[in-house]
Each structure stands twice: as C-alpha cells, then as structure tokens.
C-alpha cells in the first residue's frame, strides 16, 4: 500500500455525494441541495434514511488516500454477512465454500456467468463499459475512489466500492493489465502502518 496523503471523512463524503449526483437518484435531491447550500456532507451521509452503512466504524477515524497493488486489491474482503445476503442469493453468487475475498468472488461471478448477462447492476454495467474500453487505467481513481477499512493489521474490508471493485477484479482474472486502485483507507489509530 502506497500512502499518498492524509484525508478525512468530509473529503470522502464529498466524493460519495458527487458520485450520487451523477446517478441522478431523486431520493438524493434533498441531500445534494443541502450540501450545495453549505450543509455538512458527512451529516447527510450519516442520516438513517440515507447511507450510514457507507461509513467505517467510528473508531476507524484516521483516513488516508492510498494506492493499492494487485495483491492488495484481490485480498480485499467484503463484510462477513454479504456472501450469503439476499443480493448474492438472488443472483446465484453465494460462494460454496464460503469466501469473502475479492479474488474468489470475482472468480465465482465469472464461473456463474454473472457478467455475461445484460443485467443492470452497477457491477455488470461497469464490467461492460471497462471491457469495451479495453483498459483498467484510472477506472478506480479520483472521484471513483473506494473506501476500505483496516479490520486487522493487513486485512481490509470494502466499505464503499463493491460495485466498482468486483468488475475490476473480474477483468483482472480475465487477463486485463493491472493499474493501481486509488482508495480512501480508514484505520483505528493503533493500526495505522508507518509511512
């Protein structure tokens, strides 16, 4: 992991809301109007009717921006409840045996033809766009940054970015050239690696 600079939850929340603005979801109009009027993007993100699950744990309050290498991307974990949740069941992606790391989940998604359909999940749409583009260069950088959280030294869970990271990992497994992934990283103060 190559740490670039310090960041904070407000910068992450602003990036999150800019992605939401691009989606044009009518349910986000109030938040976007409030943020445009100077209200705190973190407060809007944390409202129960919005996206409080897109935050790291409260004690993971040190945020930095970093670049991940291929091994780090493929080792990312999804939350422990996700492999068997309703979203995965509906799409026939429940891993057997149970798995949480991105490389395994990308392989399962490929082997079960998840990306071959014409579905409209973010993962499927981005897979088609990036495959047609023929490159993964800069697809997860800048305003498309993800948020990961250190859950144990050397172990990181995806907090925000599953929709971008799964197709990225799937295309890697299919031979696409790796390009670094830019991400927000949240740590508890005692887990931050030295620079």
pLDDT digits (tens, 9 = 90+) for 76-121: 999 999 999 999 999 999 999 999 999 999 999 999 999 997 889 9
Q: Is pLDDT above 70 for 6?
A: yes
The burial class, CB within 10 Å (0-12 / 13-18 / 19+), for 153 is: exposed
Nearest to 187 by CA among 73, 64, 62, 53: 62
Q: Is pLDDT above 60 for 34?
A: yes
DSSP structural state of residue 59: T
The band of 178, judged by pLDDT with boundaries at 50, 70 and 90, is very high
CA distances from 150 to 25, 40, 56, 130, 145 (A): 30, 25, 9, 28, 16
CA distance 87 to 99: 15
CA distance 12 to 185: 10
The band of 194, judged by pLDDT with boundaries at 50, 70 and 90, is low
For 30, the token pair is 């109030």
The band of 61, judged by pLDDT with boundaries at 50, 70 and 90, is confident
The band of 187, judged by pLDDT with boundaries at 50, 70 and 90, is very high
Angle between helical axes of 122-133 and 162-173 (0-180°, round to 10)? 40
CA distance 37 to 16: 17
Q: pTM value?
A: 0.91
**Which pLDDT value is given to residue 77?**
97
**Which pLDDT value is given to residue 52?**
86
Q: Is pLDDT above 80 for 191?
A: no
SS3 content of the chain, % helix, strand, coil (to 5): 45, 15, 35
**Which pLDDT value is given to residue 64?**
95
Place of tokens 């996206």: 51
CA distance 172 to 163: 15
């Amino acid at each position: 992991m190559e740490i670039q600079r310090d960041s904070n939850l407000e910068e992450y929340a602003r990036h999150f809301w800019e992605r939401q603005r691009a989606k044009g979801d009518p349910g986000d109009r109030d938040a976007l109007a409030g943020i445009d009027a100077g209200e705190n993007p973190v407060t809007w993100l944390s409202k129960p009717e919005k996206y409080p699950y897109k935050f790291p744990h409260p004690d993971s309050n040190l945020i930095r921006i970093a670049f991940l290498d291929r091994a780090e991307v493929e080792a990312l974990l999804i939350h422990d409840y996700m492999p068997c949740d309703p979203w995965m069941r509906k799409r026939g992606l429940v891993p057997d045996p149970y798995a949480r790391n991105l490389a395994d989940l990308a392989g399962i998604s490929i082997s079960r033809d998840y990306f071959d359909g014409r579905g409209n999940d973010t993962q499927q749409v981005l897979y088609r766009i990036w495959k047609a583009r023929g490159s993964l260069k800069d697809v997860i950088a800048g305003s498309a940054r993800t948020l990961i959280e250190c859950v144990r030294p050397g172990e990181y869970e995806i907090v925000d970015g599953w929709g971008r990271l799964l197709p990225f990992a799937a295309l890697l497994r299919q031979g696409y050239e790796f390009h670094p992934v830019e991400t927000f990283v949240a740590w508890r103060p005692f887990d931050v690696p030295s620079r």
